[in-house]
Amino acid sequence: MGYRFFIVLLIYVLIPGCRTEKGNITVAVMLPDNLKYSWASPRVLPAIRMAQEKIHKSGLLRGHTINLLNFSTEDSSGSCSENEAQIIAVDTKLYNKPDAFIGPGCTYSVASVGRFASHWKLPLITAGGPAYGFEKSDEFKTIVRTGPTTTKLGDFVSYLHAHFNWSSRALMIFHDLKQDDRPHYFLSEGIYMILREENITVVAFPYEDPQTFNYKDIITFIKDNGRIVYICGPLQTFFQIMKLFEDEVKNPEDYAIFYIDVFAESLSGEPFLFLGVRALARSVFIVTYREPDSPEYTAFRKELHKRAMQDFNVKLEPSMMDFIAGCFHDGFVLYAKALSEALADDVSQNDGINITRRMQNRRIWGVTGLVSTDRNNARYTDFSLWGMTNLKTGQYAVSRMSFGIKRSLLLPNKNHLPVLGIVAVGSGLALIIFGISSFLIYRKLKLEKELAGMLWRIRWEELQFESPNKYHKRAGSRLTLSQRGSSYGSLITAHGKYQLFAKTGYFKGNLVAIKHVNKKRIELTRQVLFELKHMRDVQFNHLTRFIGACIDPPNICIVTEYCPRGSLQDILENESINLDWMFRYSLINDIVKGMNYLHNSYIGSHGNLKSSNCVVDSRFVLKITDYGLASFRSSCENEDSHALYAKKLWTAPELLIYDRHPPQGTQKGDVYSFGIILQEIALRNGPFYVEGMDLSPKEIIQKVRNGQKPYFRPTTDNSRHCEELTILMEGCWAEDPAERPDFSHIKIFIAKLNKEGSTSILNNLLSRMEQYANNLENLVEERTQAYLEEKRKAENLLYQILPHSVAEQLKRGETVQAEAFDSVTIYFSDIVGFTSMSAESTPLQVVTLLNDLYTCFDAIIDNFDVYKVETIGDAYMVVSGLPVRNGKLHAREIASMSLALLEQVKTFKIRHRPNDQLRLRIGIHTGPVCAGVVGLKMPRYCLFGDTVNTASRMESTGEALRIHMSSATKEVLDEFGYFELQLRGDVEMKGKGKMRTYWLLGEKTDVYVI
């Protein structure tokens, strides 16, 4: 077989390769068939095909087709074969010209094929090959490992040692037959090498054949060398070691024993109870991979098992090995994304170096959650540490979790933490017991009294939502919204909208801010009581004072100090407030002081720092609010997508990977949030402003979460702020949390930038107030001009609704009394056939017709001394001779106006019926009336008297396109002598009997009018 391999290799070296056919992407899949491997074909190949279908369906590689070639890398005995893998790789390269390899999984096979792939410059994507040796990126420069690695396991163990301050020694016991894939050896190697890098002495003890090995040698090794023990081997051998350990070791609780069981085989059932080693189990912890619990992974696993049965007739049982299949799936998708980007940049699909580089330091979301790679193209891996929490049932629960990307340990539930049995007992325990002093007992009793007293508690009845001050009740509507209880303090933003920032009320006569909590009830556990006590203990100038909390359902709320100037976001968005850099540095300094105090307090971190949570009091001192009380804030509010993503603009990328990140956040996450606030203050363009890009909050969050270089961050502008501030911003929002400064260093840095701010507190405060006063003067001037303009518009509107003289009376606050007029002339008109026309038209067409007609009429009557009283439907009413009397000219004005309207209507065009003629019917009458303003809501200037009714009758008994008038109007017009009138005769009027009426025909052209 070796001879065949070298012949094939020689042929390949002598014959130059050629490019893959354009449009086809060939991927060679190399996996073993034996299900003892987590990367066996029946388990992994269905996942790879699912990824292939997803890539084609998404259009990620539009115009290209992915062809999968499947090869087995095991020998005749069913074990991974390094030689077989090499031959398959060379044959495939020679005859099939693949663009990438997926697999192998076994470490030695990955090493040999990986060297070939690096030489050929082809990507090799695998969720296997976990060994520490692959960290040599120069030798394996095209390998991308998207599954767990032993290096990350070593990192997890390193976190444990740092967390518990184990800095000197550890024992590594592992099983190794020196054949096949040696899984226990490579797992142990990762722990061994990483701890050695941390200057921790690691003593290793390998054992081989379980049948012939003397396990007492292991017990002797443990007793002689240390108390931190890592064991990696088959489950049955581990149980045998533990049974012997309990028999041979007198004080097993002094040891911490960690069983490396990455696929969690030991957690099925209660093996420690079965073996009768319950007491020892309290000192035994199990290290496993952290399996995803997302709906996507659950659906993936279900489909994976279904396809394994369909394609391979293999029934897979749910196990942690399915996670490895998911890692292969996500690795294939990651390769497709990198290839798509390369093709878009006109890079060849064969350029594996370029494509592999695009997968470095990359983040994508897959079925296994966040896939985040480091500079060596190895995936950050999450681990879980399991400990026994119930001796009776043998129940194990997760006591610590490591999130590889965060490089830290998290406590999932403090109520279920097993006690690590590595504390020094004996003399140390006796010293603690006998060293308890009366002072400590007093402090303990005092603490318990405070917890039981619940001094923080506020009853809902104690909160008032109307001011207790009687002046407020007398002031009535003159009070502004911000002065009243149960209101929301507000400022007008730059967009002209009111931004609500705090619901207010009164507690013991003091104005307070009230924040409602979206929870049905609060369970007062000891942890919650401690949180509330520590909140009451916080007293600092730059943190809002916690007054108390109400836990009476459904009115659960947090009551804090109220700051009337609003939030920093309100101030920055209000363009009318001018902020010089001394003022801005003062606000920045306040944030830094508040956060530095918070980070050094029991609360530890904020978790939701943003400009809207930085509020300003009446003295223009900035204070941070909405901190602490994680138990109150852990519930998820029902928000629309835009609002939800807008609230995350300040969230650090390492926290964005969780749908619901821990409410208390992290200190480095707070530093990132501070960096975003700095940019807000510097540019005043809103949070996360990116010049030249109009992105929604959701698009911004997706780009930040993606974590692809160059990292997506807001715009900085050295022309608008100093270069040092840019350096600080970029340091605060660094992608790696470890590279971000802490607030103690930021405080020193800001002090150097703001040398003017080193003056006394009094001078600083006076400077702030002086600037605010200047801003206020400008604001008053702007608001005064705006008020005068709005007043002018309101007066014009009033003059259109009421006569000018009546409007002036109302403006002076005078009561408009009804007034009698001896003689006025009233005009009425309507449209003949309007009802039938309306029935044949749409409502919108009718409204358009009347609007056009009355707009035309209104323009004409402006040329006469008349007052338009009202329009009702097609009826139009005008009067002359009131409210300003004009002698007998009222009849002439109405007559001339009627002739002008009649002439105009003859040429008027109806939009939707241009061929139809409007038939206007007009009636005029002269006589006495009484006029006055009627009503308080929508007041109208109305006319009363028989003259109004008679004028209406003149119109209703008239004819289309003619002006019908009474004899009273005719007598007045005769005095002018230039109107052409025609006797109509006696006409029956309802309620009047017969009346003599006339037609107004026009004006005489040969008469000179004075």
Whether 16 and 136 share a structural domain: yes
Please spell the DSSP secondary structure of 223-268, one letter per residue.
Answer: HHH-SEEEEES-HHHHHHHHHHHHHH-S-GGG-EEEEE-TT-GGGS
Query: In the structure encoding, which two tokens stand for residue 453, read together?
Result: 């007293």
CA 86/CA 73 separation, integer angstroms? 9
Q: How high is the pLDDT of residue 332? A: 96
Least reliable range by pLDDT among 420-434, 645-659, 819-833, 849-863: 420-434
Over 70: is that where the pLDDT of 635 sits? no
Looking at residue 323, what is its pLDDT? Answer: 95
pLDDT for 420: 44
Structural domain tally of the chain? 4
- The predicted-structure confidence for 958-992, as pLDDT tens digits, reads as follows 998 999 999 999 999 988 888 899 998 888 888 78
pLDDT at 755: 63
Confidence of residue 407 (pLDDT cuts 50, 70, 90): low
- Asked if residue 952 belongs to a domain, the reply is yes
8 Å CB contact between 122 and 99? yes
Average pLDDT taken over every residue of the chain: 82
User: Does any domain span residue 75?
Assistant: yes
User: Tokens 């943003």 map to which residue?
Assistant: 610
Q: Give the other-Cβ count within 10 Å of 478's Cβ.
A: 8
Beta strand ranges found along 90-198 (DSSP E): 100-102, 124-126, 143-145, 169-175
User: In this model, does residue 14 exceed pLDDT 50?
Assistant: no
Q: What's the pLDDT score for residue 419?
A: 42
Domain-located, residue 781? no
CA dihedral sign, ordered 790, 791, 792, 796: positive
Which pLDDT does position 97 carry in this prediction? 93
Domain annotation covers residue 194? yes
Residue 427 pLDDT: 41
Q: Give the pLDDT score at 757.
A: 53
pLDDT in tens, 773-789: 777 777 788 888 888 88
Q: What is the pLDDT of residues 328-378, one digit of tens each?
A: 999 999 999 999 999 988 899 989 999 999 999 888 888 998 888 988 999
Long-range CB contact pairs, 780-789, < 8 A, 24+: 782/576
Q: Within 542-666, where are the H helices? A: 568-573, 581-599, 630-633, 641-646, 653-656
Q: Report pLDDT for 478.
A: 29
At residue 359, the pLDDT reads 93
The sign of the CA dihedral 96, 99, 102, 108 is positive
Q: Which of 265-279, 590-604, 937-951 has the highest mean pLDDT?
A: 590-604
Which of the residue ranges 4-13, 205-214, 278-287, 498-507 would you say has the lowest mean pLDDT? Answer: 4-13
Q: Are residues 91 and 155 in the same domain?
A: no
Query: Residue 1009 domain-assigned?
Result: no
Please tell me the predicted confidence (pLDDT) of residue 240.
Answer: 86
Q: Do residues 642 and 697 lie in contact, with contact meaning Cβ atoms separated by under 8 Å?
A: yes
* Other C-beta atoms lying within 10 Å of the C-beta of residue 363: 21
Task: Answer yes or no: do 561 and 707 share one domain.
Answer: yes
Pair (894, 951) in one structural domain: yes
Cβ count within 10 A of residue 802: 20
Percent of the chain past pLDDT 70, that is, above it, reads 82
The pTM (predicted TM-score) of the whole model is 0.50
Q: Which domain holds residue 593?
A: 460-758
pLDDT in tens, 821-857: 999 999 999 998 888 888 888 989 899 999 988 889 9
Lowest mean pLDDT among 457-466, 499-508, 626-635, 661-670: 499-508
| pLDDT at residue 108, as a whole number | 93
Q: What is the pLDDT of residue 1?
A: 44
CATH of the domain at 818: 3.30.70.1230
pLDDT in tens, 727-739: 899 999 998 888 8
Judge whether residue 571 has pLDDT over 60: yes
Backbone phi and psi for residue 78, each to the nearest 5 degrees, phi listed first: 85, 15
What confidence tier does 395 reach under pLDDT thresholds 50, 70, 90?
low
Residue 344 contacts residue 115 (beta carbons within 8 Å): no
Residue 561: predicted pLDDT: 92
Instruction: List, in order, residues 6 or more apart from 405 with CB less than 8 Å away.
Output: 370, 372, 380, 654, 657
In a shared domain, residues 975 and 829: yes
Answer yes or no: do 851 and 884 share one domain. Answer: yes
- Residue 109: pLDDT over 50: yes
Task: Lowest mean pLDDT of 490-504, 709-723, 938-952, name the range.
Answer: 490-504
pLDDT over threshold 60, residue 185: yes
**Taking residues 256-271, what's their average pLDDT?**
82
* 3 state SS of 828: strand
Q: Is residue 518 part of a domain?
A: yes
pLDDT for the residue 367: 92
- Examine the domain organization and report whether 235 and 339 are in the same domain: no
What CATH number corresponds to the domain at position 194?
3.40.50.2300
Could you tell me which residue, 578 or 862, shows the higher pLDDT? 862
Task: Answer whether residue 561 is part of any domain.
Answer: yes
pLDDT at 469: 57
Domain-terminating residue out of 329, 359, 381: 381
Q: Which of 733, 758, 783 is the last residue of a domain?
A: 758
Query: Is 439 among the domain residues?
Result: no
Lowest mean pLDDT among 92-101, 462-471, 593-602, 959-968: 462-471
Per-position DSSP letters for 440-498, written without gaps between them: HHHHHHHHHHHHHHTTTB--GGGEESS-S-HHHHHHGGGS-GGGSTT-EEEEE-TTS-E
Q: How far apart are CA 36 and CA 31, in angstroms?
A: 12
Regarding whether 393 and 495 lie in a shared domain, the answer is no
Q: Are residues 503 and 390 in the same domain?
A: no
Q: Supply the pLDDT for residue 595.
A: 95
Query: What is the arithmetic mean of pLDDT over 243-270?
Result: 84
- Give yes or no: residues 144 and 155 share one domain: no
- Greater pLDDT, 430 or 555: 555
For residues 249-256, average pLDDT: 83
pLDDT above 90 as % of the chain: 37
Q: What distance in Å separates the CA atoms of residue 472 and residue 402, rounded to the nearest whole number?
A: 57
- Does residue 578 sit in the same domain as residue 714? yes
The angle at the Cα of 991, spanning 987 to 994, to the nearest 5 degrees, equals 25
Cβ atoms of 705 and 657 closer than 8 Å: yes
Question: Minimal CA–CA distance to 854: which of 830, 883, 889, 886?
Answer: 830
For residue 527, the domain's CATH number is 1.10.510.10
The answer for 954, left when phi > 0, alpha when psi is -120 to 50, beta otherwise, is alpha
* Dihedral angle, C-alpha 255, 256, 258, 264, nearest 10 °: 110
978 and 1007 in contact (C-beta within 8 Å)?
A: yes
Q: Which of the listed ranges 59-68, 323-332, 433-442, 523-532 does the model predict with the highest average pLDDT?
A: 323-332
Residue 760 has pLDDT above 60, yes or no: no
Greater confidence (492 vs 407) lies with 407
Whether residue 970 is found in the same domain as residue 828: yes
Band (pLDDT 50/70/90 cuts) for residue 77 is confident
